């Protein structure tokens, strides 16, 4: 088997090592495919579908974060079909989730000309903010279910398994087992989940309190908390 494959992406030819994903092959050409759930330090999971591309001969659009380049493939990253699909995903997300602190997604909405009023009256994900520990808050009304926090809490980084998906369909959200407060779970407050969250759904307690207009001098919260985190993965 050859070690490299040659394909065309948006009419440009590129050779990449076998096993390279279409997302990475496009990046090699300087083409940026938009992503939401993808993070360089997490296992790609193709959940958000914003990175879909059109492959000639394929029946459906394929998620470029997991689809591998093959010899002779012809890929289109911004065809009309692709743009319509991405636009619809953004419109659906915007109709249900508070994206006010998700700058990358807001810029995608702008870039794709997503209609923010396309689904008027749609049910919104409105859940109470969870403030149950001294280190970070959880505001799942801002959660796009990208799964990054669950992945870094598990095999992608920390092997702690404090959080997971719970619920079904529209009610799906991230939570702890039996909805236990975070201090009663296996959470070690490493901060990995906060570091990879793209939407502000997870936020350091100090930042949250400053957002509420509480003066830095009045913030005693960090000194009374547990030890500071070991390391935090950077945003992509
Ligand atoms: S809380 Fe943040 S990182 Fe976790 S699934 Fe929601 S948006 Fe993604």
* Tokens standing for residue 8: 């065309």
Instruction: Kindly report the average pLDDT of the chain as a whole number.
Output: 91
Q: Which residue owns the Cα nearest ligand 1 atom 8? A: 146
Q: Name the band, by pLDDT with cuts 50, 70 and 90, for residue 220.
A: low
**For the chain, how are helix, strand and coil distributed in percent, rounded to 5?**
30, 15, 55
Mean pLDDT of 162-171: 91
Phi, psi dihedral angles at 137 (to 5 degrees)? -105, 160
Q: Which atom of ligand 1 is nearest to the CA of 138?
A: 1
Alpha-carbon distance of 139 to 172, in angstroms, equals: 14
157 lines ligand 1 (CB under 6 A): no
Q: What is the mean pLDDT of residues 137-164?
A: 97
With cut-offs at 50, 70 and 90, classify the pLDDT of residue 88: very high
Region 194-223 average pLDDT = 84
Alpha carbon of 67 to ligand 1 centroid (Å): 23
Ligand 1 lined by 148 (C-beta under 6 Å): yes
- If one compares 36 and 209, the residue with the highest pLDDT of the two is 36
Q: Give the residue-averaged pLDDT of 54-79.
A: 97
- Reported as a pLDDT band with limits 50, 70 and 90, residue 23 is very high
User: How many other C-beta atoms are found inside a 10 Å radius of the C-beta of residue 234?
Assistant: 10
Return the structure tokens found at 66. Answer: 């997991």
Q: What is the pLDDT of residue 235?
A: 44
pLDDT of 75 above 80:
yes
Q: In this model, does residue 233 exceed pLDDT 90?
A: no
Using 50, 70 and 90 to split pLDDT, how confident is the model at 217? confident
pLDDT-derived band at 214, boundaries 50, 70, 90 = confident
194 C-alpha to ligand 1 centroid (Å): 8
Which of 37, 100, 140, 146 has the most ligand 1 atoms within 8 A of CB, as the residue to mutate? 146
Query: What does the pLDDT average to over 14-22?
Result: 97
Stated pTM of the model: 0.88
């Amino acid at each position: 088997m050859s070690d490299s494959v040659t394909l065309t992406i948006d009419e440009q030819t590129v050779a990449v090592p076998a096993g390279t994903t279409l997302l990475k092959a496009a990046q090699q050409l300087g083409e940026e495919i938009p992503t939401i759930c993808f993070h360089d330090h997490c296992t790609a999971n193709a959940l958000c579908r914003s990175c879909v591309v059109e492959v000639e001969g394929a029946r459906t659009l394929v998620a470029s974060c997991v689809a591998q380049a093959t010899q002779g493939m012809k890929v289109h990253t911004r065809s009309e079909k692709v743009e319509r699909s991405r636009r619809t995903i953004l419109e659906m997300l915007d109709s249900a989730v508070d994206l006010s602190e998700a700058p990358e997604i807001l810029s995608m909405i702008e870039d794709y000309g997503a209609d923010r009023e396309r689904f008027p009256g749609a049910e919104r994900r409105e859940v109470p903010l969870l403030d149950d520990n001294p280190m970070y808050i959880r505001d799942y009304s801002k959660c796009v279910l990208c799964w990054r926090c669950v992945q870094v809490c598990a095999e992608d980084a920390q092997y702690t398994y404090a959080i997971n998906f719970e619920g079904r369909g529209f009610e799906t959200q991230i939570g702890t087992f039996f909805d236990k407060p975070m201090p009663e779970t296996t959470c070690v407050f490493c901060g990995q989940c906060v570091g990879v969250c793209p939407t502000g759904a997870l936020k350091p307690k100090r930042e949250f309190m400053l957002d509420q207009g509480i003066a830095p001098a009045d913030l005693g919260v960090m000194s009374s908390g547990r030890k500071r985190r070991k390391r935090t993965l950077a945003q992509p």
